[in-house]
Structure 1
Amino acid sequence: MAVTRRQILARTGASVAGIAFTGALADLFAGSSAAAEPRGGYGPLLPDPAGLLDLPAGFSYRVLSRQGDPLRSGEGTVPGRFDGMSAFAGPRGGVRLVRNHENRPDAPLAVPHVPGLVYDRGGKGGCTVLGLDAAGAVLPGAPGERVGIAGTAVNCAGGPTPWGTWLTCEETEDKAGSKGYEKDHGFVFEVDPADPQRTGAVPLTALGRFAHEAVAVDPYTGIVYETEDAFDRPFGLFYRFLPERPLGGTGSLRAGGALEALRVPGVPDLSVVQEAGTVFDSVEWVPVPDPQAVSTPIRFQDFGRGGITHAQKLEGCYWGGRCVYFVSSFARASDGSGATHFGQVWKYDPHRRRLTLAVVFGPDTDLQLPGESPDNICLAPTGGLMVCEDGDGAQHVFGVSRRGEVYAVARGRQDIGGPGAPEWGEFAGVAFSPDGATMYVNCYTPGTTFAVTGPWR
């Protein structure tokens, strides 16, 4: 598709934005090679005869798992609502995928309750683990597909740890006694893809109780960065957790630590910042008064003089180079945000204590290819950024090059709408195999996990 069909704009307009955006992207893609990036993308998307996933010429997909099928472990049925996911190296050149299931109490397909892996008998969420061989095929039996954790709630996104585990996040603040729950929810849990029973179902309470979305771990210090996707005002916060046992491996996050929230002096709402490349030096981190939110949700708590900085729809979070990046999918003044935008990527440099608005998405310029509402996001080992779209209309996985080019990599074709009102499920959990040869991505509804291979450059 033509680059002009989907632009990334700064407030001052396209001509200036090209300069500001390019400068920001050079930082965003730390470690990737500009020479390896595909100019203009990989070409137009071709209709899939099977009606599942449109891809460019030369690319192909394999369906690894679908909701409603039997789990290969025999533990029950593959649950639905596929969300965040990450890929880990497996034995003998294989790969292990850990996949979230964002199940609320109304979910028709709960994550099966396997002894030793259940947090709350009233919870329907959790994770499943897929094991692939070196050729990319799903292994038979329990190594091929099994429950990773169960009895949790609304497992949205999360993030990998430097020691090879997955942190799955509950995007809820529901407490025991509500909606059939027997325990409080709103926590992060650790899942070992190699042996889920080793991590069990223990909430990492010191990381706070709030509507978690995603996390990223600083591999140099062990500090955990967390996004909060609150659905009403005041909107969510951006947090960091300073562990007592940094980089201590599996179980170390249970040892406790300190939870803090980001304050940008003079900026109560990040949505009011509109120009890509805007920099804030010496941002502050304020201790959270009550991380367990026993009586008051954290975002409502008193952070003292100067208050705290909020942002609507804080979603994806990832580590790249020596910085952490986090996504605000959108902001709407009509919802109570300070201003409206169509998606932002923020970069925080811990060494300089510097916050930069790296990327501004949108607005829509093509109803079939809406360039708004970035959600799950990852750095592609072949160079560039991969973004899961969660907006209206057609749903895509977009690539973004450091040159500012935006190109479609995949388009969902599974129509979940009614007669005369087509609708397509969002993408989630984009991740790459350790060797960079395969892109994995989920369709949220109907729950489908794809493995995409082709001439990645």
Structure 2
Amino acid sequence: MERRSFLRASVLGGTAAAFTGSLWQGAALAAPAQNAPSPYGPLQPADANGIHLPAGFTSQVVARSRQTVPGTSYRWHSAPDGGACFADGTGWIYVSNSETISLLGGGASMIRFDAAGRVTGASRLLSGTNINCAGGKTPWNTWLSCEETDLGRVWETYPFGGRAVARPAMGRFTHEAAAADPVRRAIYLTEDKGDGCFYRFVPHTWGDLSSGTLQVMVAGTAASGSFTWATVPDPDGFPIATRNQVSGAKRFDGGEGCYYADDTVWFTTKGDNRVWQVNLASGTYELAYDDDLVSPGTAPLKGVDNVTGSTAGDLYVAEDGGSMQICMITPDDKVSVFLRIDGQGSSEITGPAFNPAGNRLYFSSQRGTSGDRLGTGGITYCVTGPFRT
């Protein structure tokens, strides 16, 4: 079976976090991606929402910060950030973080959709937390909402019912994103610091994040090579930060989005505009994208941030700033622009996530046209069209 067919079957069957085998690994991004025309063709003129899309794709506004989600009585949160989709019967749920302080509504919310993509409900998942930036979906259908503060926590939230719970065993540091690996039964974690690290949390019991071991990647200073994991002695991160507890811990310049599929985890670093690929089966790491190594012409992807994958095996990387684009990196090491938003240069694109069928892409512009740093002008969108399968 081709990797694309396998990936599509896996997503349609449940969760992208449940991939096993070597199909992604066998066709992994073996070198930094290079410029190429988009497989969807050139971008068209901006639509009514100010979004440039390839032919055949359309956009719609799903929700606006501080306004009631259409069809519900729920007021959408400010500063929408990391997100994920969950299958819900014949429909689905889109979960989104709020990257603001607790007094202004930080935490996470959800919107429920029916099989036709119509909104059927919206509600709060998490309140009273601070700067909930990105996070990750688990194979048991919970959402890990990560606080991007010096002693930030991971909060496990329950889109299908249940009270959110802090998971301090996963470490207290400037959390960004998380990605679950059901093969090694580990959760990978990025750290948004200029000298941050890349971690994994190995729970004592898979599916129970209340206890376990926090480890950090140990490797050389090169952009590729082999690595090992070392246990962090004090996950509490005080008085010594977790990133400074293990000699030889590899440093990354501002860890951001994180995505796992079949023995490979990708994560982004905004300080150097890189996408890293960690080959878990072989214990090696390399660059999937580096804006300094792109040719011919100018690198299209700047301000790398949240990342997700499609049913075709393409990576979709959102920009924080840059040209307000979502770019795609294909399995054959090609990078191109998928969409661009006009008139929102003081914002960032956040929370890209595909619905279970892989034909709708949800994402947000955190500050929208207003550019308000509090995120009061945030806009959450959905793009529908002939995504590759």
TM-score range, shorter chain: 0.7 to 0.9
Shift of 1:370: 4.2
Counterpart of 2:17 in structure 1 is none
Q: Tell me: CA distance 1:136–1:209, structure 2 relative to 1, closer, same or farther (3 Å).
A: same
Counterpart of 2:9 in structure 1 is none
Q: Tell me: CA distance 1:410–1:366, structure 2 relative to 1, closer, same or farther (3 Å).
A: farther
Shift of 1:263: 0.7
1:53 aligns with one of 30, 51, 55: 51
Shift of 1:369: 7.5
Counterpart of 1:396 in structure 2 is 325
TM-score, with structure 2 as normaliser: 0.83
SS at 2:266 equivalent: strand
Determine whether 1:428 maps to 2:353. no
What letter matches 1:435 in structure 2?
A
Q: Distance in 2 between matches of 1:65 and 1:74?
A: 12
Shift of 1:286: 1.6
For residues 371-396 of structure 1, the C-alpha deviation after alignment (integer angstroms, 9 at most, x for no partner) is 2222111111134111101243x211
1:372 aligns with one of 302, 323, 334: 302
Determine whether 1:297 maps to 2:241. yes
Paired positions, count: 350
1:240 aligns with one of 200, 203, 212: 200
Q: Which has the higher strand share?
A: 2
**Preserved CA contact (<8 Å) 2:192 2:254:** yes
Q: Tell me: CA distance 1:382–1:24, structure 2 relative to 1, closer, same or farther (3 Å).
A: closer
Counterpart of 1:410 in structure 2 is 339
Determine whether 1:384 maps to 2:306. no
TM-score, with structure 1 as normaliser: 0.71
Counterpart of 1:311 in structure 2 is 252
**Preserved CA contact (<8 Å) 1:187 1:212:** yes
**Preserved CA contact (<8 Å) 2:25 2:263:** no
**Preserved CA contact (<8 Å) 1:159 1:214:** yes
Q: Distance in 1 between matches of 2:124 and 2:329?
A: 34
Q: Tell me: CA distance 1:49–1:326, structure 2 relative to 1, closer, same or farther (3 Å).
A: closer
SS at 2:118 equivalent: coil
Runs of 4+ in structure 1 off by over 6 angstroms are 363-369
Q: Tell me: CA distance 1:368–1:325, structure 2 relative to 1, closer, same or farther (3 Å).
A: closer
What letter matches 1:137 in structure 2?
R
Q: Distance in 2 between matches of 1:59 and 1:368?
A: 25
2:78 aligns with one of 51, 71, 80: 80
The structure with the largest alpha-carbon Rg is 1
Q: Tell me: CA distance 1:324–1:225, structure 2 relative to 1, closer, same or farther (3 Å).
A: same
* Equivalent residues in 2 for 1:13-52, closer than 5 Å: 26-28=27-29, 40-52=38-50
Q: Distance in 2 between matches of 1:56 and 1:353?
A: 38
* Equivalent residues in 2 for 1:337-348, closer than 5 Å: 342-348=273-279
SS at 2:27 equivalent: helix
1:258 aligns with one of 200, 213, 227: 213
SS at 1:253 equivalent: strand
**Preserved CA contact (<8 Å) 2:274 2:287:** no
SS at 1:407 equivalent: strand
2:186 aligns with one of 213, 216, 223: 223
Counterpart of 1:6 in structure 2 is none
Counterpart of 2:14 in structure 1 is none
* Equivalent residues in 2 for 1:344-355, closer than 5 Å: 344-349=275-280, 351-355=281-285
Q: Tell me: CA distance 1:383–1:260, structure 2 relative to 1, closer, same or farther (3 Å).
A: closer
Determine whether 1:134 maps to 2:115. yes
Shift of 1:299: 1.9
Shift of 1:146: 0.8
Determine whether 1:189 maps to 2:189. no
**Preserved CA contact (<8 Å) 2:190 2:256:** yes
Shift of 1:145: 1.0
For residues 234-281 of structure 1, the C-alpha deviation after alignment (integer angstroms, 9 at most, x for no partner) is x111111111111x3xxx112x011111111x43xxxx52xxxx3x23
Q: Distance in 2 between matches of 1:25 and 1:441?
A: 29
Shift of 1:346: 2.4
Q: Tell me: CA distance 1:407–1:25, structure 2 relative to 1, closer, same or farther (3 Å).
A: farther
What letter matches 1:452 in structure 2?
V
**Preserved CA contact (<8 Å) 1:363 1:372:** no
Q: Distance in 2 between matches of 1:89 and 1:59?
A: 23
Counterpart of 2:4 in structure 1 is none
SS at 1:85 equivalent: strand
Show structure 1 runs of 5+ residues with no match. Answer: 1-22, 30-37, 112-124, 174-184, 332-341, 416-422
Counterpart of 1:449 in structure 2 is 380
Q: Distance in 1 between matches of 2:304 and 2:26?
A: 16
Q: Distance in 2 between matches of 1:456 and 1:201?
A: 34
What letter matches 1:206 in structure 2?
A
For residues 266-322 of structure 1, the C-alpha deviation after alignment (integer angstroms, 9 at most, x for no partner) is 43xxxx52xxxx3x23x2222112111232222233x2xx43221111111111112
